[in-house]
Structure 1
Amino acid sequence: MSAPPTRASPWLDPRRVAALPRVVLVTGTDTDVGKTWTVAALAAALARLGRSVAVHKPVQTGVGPDEPGDAATVLRLVERFGAGAGSVVVGEGQRLTEPMAPRPAAALDRVGLLPLEAHAERVAELALRHDHVLVEGSGGLLVELDEDRRTLADLALLLREQGQPDSGVVVVVRAGLGTLNHTELTLEALAARGLDALGTVLGAWPAEPTPVERGNRAHLAELAVPLLGALPSGGTGQRTSAP
């Protein structure tokens, strides 16, 4: 793929990015849809507005102890986007070696998952010291993140219960066939829990979109939940093919 622009802002609606709340949870309609790519683009765009940004990955799977994970990828991309070294702070809650959902990965590693409260506490701490905290989920919205089978949606509810009402969820979606159903299902799950869907992002927009992909983008732009932007294809498979 060609090198990306040095700024992430052309890909995202700057007005909507500027209006994002203090805590933004980023989920996807599936795995490998471009969540890390999206987190980096959002972080860079916010940092370029002069905002202080922290990124928290509750559970990182599929990497060894000394391998770079999604947090490292975010930091590298933010700098590539021209936001400046040190403008974004990144971190993980827990790391697991198997490339699968957190609960089965933890079982294979023979460790227990951190409780959701530990992640909520870390996000709250970061929110006290930064203008924005971006929280990257694992896979989709309802992937289980702790031993009590709680999810990113539950983390969003827990943060609100603990006094962090200024928050919402960004949903990263695919461009191709099937994305409309998966997007609507995710948005419906958020609405059923009373959670604020801040917008959708196309996580891998192709250089030469098909009629199906163009039609999907037009449909997404007509939803009540705004389309925040479309990132160029190449940012999925973050640890291997991201620029």
Structure 2
Amino acid sequence: MITVVTGTSTGVGKTVATAALAVTSPGSVLVVKPVQTGARDGDSDAREVGRLAGVDTVEWTVLDEPLAPDTAARRQGVEIPLVASYAARLRGLLQDSVLVEGAGGLLVRLDAAGGTLLDLASDLGTVAEIDVVVVVAAGLGTLNHTELTVDALRARGLAVRGLVVGSWPAEPGLAERCNLEDLARVAPVLAVIPEGAGALSREEFVAAAPGWFAQVR
């Protein structure tokens, strides 16, 4: 089973959510980051997932600047693979559960030809069993961003497993509390991850993650 993890925007907690999904996925788990930007600053979403969840991870295209992949590649003067090549590599993986973490939002360009994570998921969906998890923010604006992302996925015929709130505040306000109820009208809310979860140790994270899913069932 391949699960594509996307976000409604950057900074919504996608990497921590991917780690939580890895902890709660059955069988052998591999997390794939097709494109990692910001490597010059030492950023690595895959390494962070591995640190938190203790699963195998791989990165395929690594770029220096923390920008959209095609922009980062153009500025760095390197040619990056087409989305179709990532899809071909993913189809060859044999793990029970493969999680594919995108870069930024669903329609951010992953290659110089305009290919996006939506295109990657659509390509995979023609030959493999896949679903998509959308990581969302808790505050104002999240309903519109979530509707747009989910509508784009469903328009391509892709199954949206549900939503994960990537960073739930310790003291949620009225907007956050109302949004949590309203998000469930867009797609099932699978989990609510507390803010600061990424600072936990591996042992703490692995112990806590199943509870983040159980609390919304």
TM (normalized to structure 1)? 0.79
Aligned to 1:118: 85
Structure 1: where are the runs of 5+ without partners? 1-21, 80-87
Q: Does 1:160 align with 2:125?
A: yes
Aligned to 1:4: none
Structure 2: where are the runs of 5+ without partners? 202-217
Aligned to 2:114: 149
In the alignment, the residues of structure 2 paired with residue 124 and residue 176 of structure 1 have an alpha-carbon distance, to the nearest angstrom, of 36
Aligned to 1:206: 169
Aligned to 2:189: 227
Change (3 A) 1:108 1:242: farther
Using the TM superposition, name which of 28-37 and 108-117 deviates more: 108-117
Aligned to 1:43: 22
In the alignment, the residues of structure 1 paired with residue 30 and residue 167 of structure 2 have an alpha-carbon distance, to the nearest angstrom, of 23
Q: CA deviation at 1:113?
A: 1.4
In the alignment, the residues of structure 2 paired with residue 38 and residue 125 of structure 1 have an alpha-carbon distance, to the nearest angstrom, of 24
User: In the alignment, residue 10 of structure 2 is paired with which amino acid?
Assistant: T
2:103 is aligned, of 138, 145, 169, to: 138
Aligned to 2:50: 75
Change (3 A) 1:203 1:171: same
RMSD: 1.6
Equivalent positions of 1:12-91 (< 5 A) are 22-46=1-25, 49=26, 51-64=27-40, 67=42, 69-79=44-54, 88-91=55-58
Q: How many pairs are equivalent?
A: 201
Once the two structures are superposed, what CA deviation does each residue of 1:188-229 show, in whole Å capped at 9, x if it has no partner? Answer: 111111111110100000111101100000111233x21101
Once the two structures are superposed, what CA deviation does each residue of 1:91-145 show, in whole Å capped at 9, x if it has no partner? Answer: 011000000100110011100111112211221122xx21110000010000011
Contact 2:125 2:158 in 1 (8 A): no
2:69 is aligned, of 102, 113, 116, to: 102
In the alignment, the residues of structure 1 paired with residue 59 and residue 109 of structure 2 have an alpha-carbon distance, to the nearest angstrom, of 16
TM (normalized to structure 2)? 0.88
Q: CA deviation at 1:242?
A: 6.9
In the alignment, the residues of structure 1 paired with residue 110 and residue 185 of structure 2 have an alpha-carbon distance, to the nearest angstrom, of 32
In the alignment, the residues of structure 2 paired with residue 242 and residue 60 of structure 1 have an alpha-carbon distance, to the nearest angstrom, of 23
Q: Does 1:187 align with 2:154?
A: no
Percent identity (aligned): 49
